[in-house]
């Protein structure tokens, strides 16, 4: 059983799906176990591979051999599947997040990797499994999305090397890019314009913050996934070093997404709120009054990060 983090991004599902396909090719009865829905533009990556917790429990009522978590290494990243994950006779972690302690027997963790999909690529090669087009597409999707299309600071020579090798397997990834990036519902545009309308510069213009509420989603006929990409867009503003986006979940909790541009590290601040991530992209989830969370976060960014 392959697990990845909730609110799956392209790297999460791309890595999980590619590994699942490779395991199946080796005759292993493998599945990606999920607890939430894939975003519409990413759903093609998980097709015919994903099962939910109830299905997994039914299909493997006598237990399962291996649990693998990819693109995450903490139970809090797959809360409703933690028990199922721990039921695996052997536990394996493949990840590119820095984590203090491990919950697995075997770990392939490289915080220098631009995407977990890069590690999956190297792993499948090491397994001696021939990478086919379906795997290549999923590995490409993971790398492209986690590196901001080869633009973020996590993009390296190895990132490009791996992708160039993927071109030996698949002539073009243009269709994948269209599927992921040029397939946006009109409601997303409307939602983004509302989000940007409420954006606020602070810390002398070096930081920016914006929020998404359930009311905004209703007004625009949008879903929370439609706010994806807005925090990177905010970071692109001139003079801005740190961008923050606060999303109000259905249960009232607030999901914060932070991004840094060049010198700042947002991972520690997020860790101090029970979250985590990378220096340039991190997040946390918290319960409380939305205005208060926003004000506290602004103060902390200004005092602890911008200084
Ligand atoms: P995003 O802001 O896009 O949700 O996440 C950015 C990065 O931070 C990703 O690498 C993601 O895995 C990580 N991240 C976001 N939220 C959390 C969280 O609550 N806990 C941990 N450990 N990492 C998070
Ligand atoms: Mn991820
Ligand atoms: Mn990742």
Residue 293 maps to which CATH number?
A: 3.10.310.30
Compute the distance between CA of residue 65 and CA of residue 86 in angstroms, rounded to an integer: 11
For 36-54, how does the pLDDT look when each residue is reduced to its tens digit (9 = 90+)?
999 999 999 999 999 999 9
**Residues within 5 A (CB) of ion ligand 2:** 9, 11-12, 71
- Ligand 1 atom nearest the C-alpha of 275 is 20
In the predicted structure, residue 233 carries a pLDDT above the cut 90: yes
Q: For residues 239 and 283, state if they share a domain.
A: yes
Compute the distance between CA of residue 32 and CA of residue 251 in angstroms, rounded to an integer: 26
Angle between helices 157-166 and 133-146 (to 10 degrees): 150
Which of 145, 160, 181 is the C-terminal boundary of a domain?
181
Q: Which residues line ligand 1 (CB under 6 A)?
A: 5, 74, 257, 275-278, 281-285
Give the pLDDT of residue 99: 81
For 134-177, how does the pLDDT look when each residue is reduced to its tens digit (9 = 90+)?
999 999 999 999 999 999 999 999 999 999 999 999 999 999 99
253 DSSP assignment = -
Q: What's the pTM?
A: 0.93
Q: How far is CA 148 from the centre of its chain?
A: 12
Q: For residues 114 and 148, state if they share a domain.
A: yes
Question: Residue 41 belongs to a domain with what CATH number?
Answer: 3.90.1640.10
Which of 145, 166, 181 is the C-terminal boundary of a domain?
181
Q: For residues 170 and 252, state if they share a domain.
A: no
For 119-141, how does the pLDDT look when each residue is reduced to its tens digit (9 = 90+)?
999 999 999 999 999 999 999 99
Q: How many domains does the chain have?
A: 2
- How many residues in the chain? 307
129 DSSP assignment = P
Ligand 1 centre distance from Cα of residue 147 (Å):
14
Q: Range of 104's domain?
A: 2-181
- Ligand 1 atom nearest the C-alpha of 146 is 10
Compute the distance between CA of residue 247 and CA of residue 294 in angstroms, rounded to an integer: 11
ipTM of the complex: 0.94
| Nearest Cα residue to atom 13 of ligand 1 | 277
For 245-304, how does the pLDDT look when each residue is reduced to its tens digit (9 = 90+)?
999 999 999 999 999 999 999 999 999 999 999 999 999 999 999 999 999 999 999 999
Q: For residues 246 and 270, state if they share a domain.
A: yes
Helix intervals (H) in the chain: 10-25, 43-46, 53-59, 82-86, 116-127, 133-146, 157-166, 174-181, 186-197, 214-220, 230-235, 267-271, 290-300
Q: For residues 108 and 235, state if they share a domain.
A: no
Query: Which residue among 276, 286, 287 is best mutated to probe the pocket of ligand 1, counting the most ligand atoms within 8 A of its Cβ?
Result: 276
Q: For residues 173 and 200, state if they share a domain.
A: no
32 DSSP assignment = E
Q: For residues 146 and 57, state if they share a domain.
A: yes
Distances (CA, A) of 41 to 82, 118, 219: 27, 21, 22
Which of 181, 196, 225 is the C-terminal boundary of a domain?
181
Give the pLDDT of residue 98: 87
CA dihedral 77, 78, 83, 89 (to 10 degrees): -90
In the predicted structure, residue 235 carries a pLDDT above the cut 80: yes
Give the pLDDT of residue 101: 81
Compute the distance between CA of residue 40 and CA of residue 100 in angstroms, rounded to an integer: 33
Q: What is the mean pLDDT of residues 201-207?
A: 98
Provide φ and ψ at 223, rounded to 5°. Answer: -115, 165
Q: For residues 231 and 296, state if they share a domain.
A: yes
Give the pLDDT of residue 136: 98
């Amino acid at each position: 059983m392959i697990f990845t983090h909730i609110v799956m991004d392209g790297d999460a599902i791309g890595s999980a799906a590619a590994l699942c396909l490779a395991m199946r090719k080796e005759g292993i009865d493998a599945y990606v176990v999920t607890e939430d829905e894939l975003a519409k533009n990413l759903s093609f990556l998980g097709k015919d591979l994903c099962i939910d917790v109830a299905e997994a429990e039914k299909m493997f009522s006598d237990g399962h051999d291996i649990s693998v978590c990819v693109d995450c290494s903490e139970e809090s990243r797959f809360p409703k599947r933690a028990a199922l994950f721990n039921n695996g006779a052997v536990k394996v972690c493949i990840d590119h997040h820095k984590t203090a302690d491990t919950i697995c027997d075997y770990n392939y963790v490289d915080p220098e990797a631009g995407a977990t999909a890069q590690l999956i690529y190297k792993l499948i090669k090491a397994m001696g499994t021939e990478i086919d087009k379906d795997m290549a597409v999923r590995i490409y999707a993971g790398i492209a999305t986690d590196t901001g299309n080869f633009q973020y600071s996590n993009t390296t020579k190895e990132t490009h090397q791996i992708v160039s090798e993927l071109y030996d397997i698949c002539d073009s990834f243009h269709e994948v890019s269209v599927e992921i990036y040029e397939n946006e519902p009109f409601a997303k545009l409307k939602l983004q314009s509302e989000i940007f309308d409420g954006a606020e510069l602070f810390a002398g213009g070096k930081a920016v913050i914006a929020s998404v509420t359930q009311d905004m989603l209703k007004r625009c006929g949008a879903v929370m996934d439609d706010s994806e990409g807005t925090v990177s867009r905010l970071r692109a503003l001139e003079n801005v070093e740190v961008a923050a986006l606060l999303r109000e979940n259905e249960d009232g909790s607030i999901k914060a997404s932070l991004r840094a541009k060049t010198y700042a590290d947002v991972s520690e601040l997020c860790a101090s709120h029970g979250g985590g991530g990378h220096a340039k992209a991190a997040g946390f989830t918290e319960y409380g009054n939305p205005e208060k969370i926003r004000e506290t976060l602004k103060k902390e960014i200004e005092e602890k990060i911008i200084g």
